[in-house]
Amino acid sequence: MTQSIVVQVGQCGNQVGCRFWDLALREHAHVNQMGIYDEALSSFFRNLYLCACLQAVLVDMEEGVLGEILQGPLRSLFSSTQLISDVSGSGNNWAVGHHTYGLAYREQIVDQVRKAAEHCDCLQCFFLIHSMGGGTGSGLGTFVLKLLEDEFPEVYRIVTSVYPTAEDDVITSPYNSVLAMKELTEHADCVLPVDNQSLVDIVGKIQHMSNTGKPGCTIKKDCTIISGQGGVVKVEKPFDAMNNIVANLLLNITSEVNSIDYIVTVAPLKVWDMLDSK
């Protein structure tokens, strides 16, 4: 029996992570309709006082998204100690997230990760979810990645990184991405790069398919691929559909048929070859 711990950093990382947990619970409920705490559920959840608790650490230097999670439909799955936040944010500055907040919250982050690891019988990997353009996601996210390598050098580190579009309204996002990229090449076992513009294009095509009403079209408006229902808040937001694409990606690679050993040995070669070709 192996377990994984999800570490969500920054606004984007926590929003994608929340969609992942929602979809994982729905998938498990569909397969295990008796509601039994089984081996599949134990991969990401621990049985705590007859209530499932996520094996996750949520970090953001703003309170907005974490506050929404605590008020949302998944609030009962989180312990307040799993959430680490500040109030001022990183100001879209990689250095502030990496050096200022990294040093300030280092011990607290390590403590929570260790507590999550103590509940695992056989910790297989960490899943780090973050963005490359924001200050917290890129700066603090890569700082946390280095912490995971230092504290758990034998545990795989699989990173899902959301890259900004060329028309990103954050002027510092290209610099943040470049600085974060260096850290990823040094400390990650596997990087799953996600292009924001590609997400926009995919969502647009799916919505077009769902609205055409052509015979044989299998995409429904309320499908888990694009629906934001059951996520952070009750009101669906424009980026919920994009987050769902990434959440489905993570859900597919963590399924039983996919080997983590394969992901961290073969997948990185394909990812870096793809990046080099561009």
| Least confident residue range of 29-33, 55-59, 149-153, 231-235 | 231-235
Across residues 205-230, what is the average pLDDT? 60
Across residues 19-28, what is the average pLDDT? 84
Tell which residue, 85, 83, 99, has the closest CA to residue 135. 99
pLDDT number for residue 138: 97
User: In whole angstroms, how far apart are CA 45 and each of 42, 55, 131, 158, 174?
Assistant: 5, 5, 24, 18, 36
Q: How many CA atoms lie within 13 A of 137 on its CB side?
A: 27
Read off φ and ψ for residue 130, nearest 5 degrees.
Answer: -160, 170
Across residues 96-104, what is the average pLDDT? 97
pLDDT of 250 over the 60 cut = yes
pLDDT number for residue 234: 45
pLDDT number for residue 25: 82
pLDDT number for residue 41: 62
Across residues 61-87, what is the average pLDDT? 88
| Least confident residue range of 63-72, 149-158, 225-234 | 225-234
pLDDT number for residue 239: 82
At 272, is the pLDDT very low, low, confident or very high (cuts 50, 70, 90)? very low
Share of the chain above pLDDT 70, in %: 73
**pLDDT, mean over the chain:** 81
pLDDT number for residue 227: 54
Instruction: Choose from 45-54, 74-83, 226-235, 244-253 the range with maximum mean pLDDT.
Output: 244-253
pLDDT number for residue 79: 80
pLDDT number for residue 208: 78
Cβ neighbours of residue 190 under 8 Å, at least 6 residues apart? 156, 157, 158, 159, 263, 264, 267, 268, 271
pLDDT number for residue 39: 61
pLDDT of 143 over the 70 cut = yes
CA 77 to chain centre: 16
pLDDT number for residue 1: 61
Comparison of pLDDT for 220 and 70, the residue scoring more? 70
pLDDT number for residue 121: 84
